[in-house]
Amino acid sequence: MNTPTTPATPNTAQEAAHLKKLRDQISTDIEAMQQKEASLKAYEQRLRLLMEHNQQGQPAPQSNQHYVNAGPDSQAALDAEWDKYNRAHALLEAARRGLTDDRLALKEREEKLTLRESDVARREGWLRARELEIAAVVAAKAAIPVVPEPTFVSDPIRAARNMLRSKKTAG
């Protein structure tokens, strides 16, 4: 019989492999997005520092010169990057919800298989008991000795009685 830990069909095994592949892909996507988020936060912090220095009239630090864009383009670029991040995060969440739904469906399927397995086991037990009952009845019938018809030589009175009974029922 199938146990809940072993796949019942090749489809289940394929689905599990596909889900594992998707899970691995999502985890790598999450890591990449976390790295991008950290990079964007560092970039945003540098931009804020540059804007603060600019407002105070101080020259910007030389090490961060290559990050500065002209005027409003820097804020627009930052907003565009955040929009990209938000879209990627929304896609990631949708994929995560899809995987959760798949996992729940797989769990439900395994529960149904477990119930079916217990039902089949119960039916097999009932069938075995019924077969034993039938075998006992057959054995009991075989154990009853067969009384041969009395003959006029062995038991003339019973033979005559049986002969008369059969004529009364026939007539």
Q: For position 10, what pLDDT does the model report? A: 67
Look at 26-30, 45-49, 69-73, 97-101 and tell me which has the smallest mean pLDDT: 69-73
Q: Which two tokens stand for residue 46?
A: 């540098």
What distance in Å separates the CA atoms of residue 88 and residue 131, rounded to the nearest whole number?
64
Tokens of 167: 């004529």
How far, in Å, CA of 91 to CA of 102, rounded?
A: 16
Contact by Cβ (8 Å): 74, 68 = yes
| pTM of the shown model | 0.35
- pLDDT of 16 > 80? The answer is yes
Q: Is the pLDDT assigned to residue 54 strictly greater than 70? A: yes
Place of tokens 């039916």: 123
* 68 backbone dihedrals φ, ψ, rounded to 5°: -80, 130
pLDDT of residue 7: 47
In this predicted structure, the answer to whether residue 80 has a pLDDT above a threshold of 90 is: no
Q: What is the mean pLDDT of residues 59-64?
A: 54
Contact 99, 23 (CB under 8 A): yes
Q: What is the pLDDT of residue 8?
A: 53
Per DSSP, the three-state class of 106 is helix
Least confident range of 13-22, 29-38, 55-64: 55-64
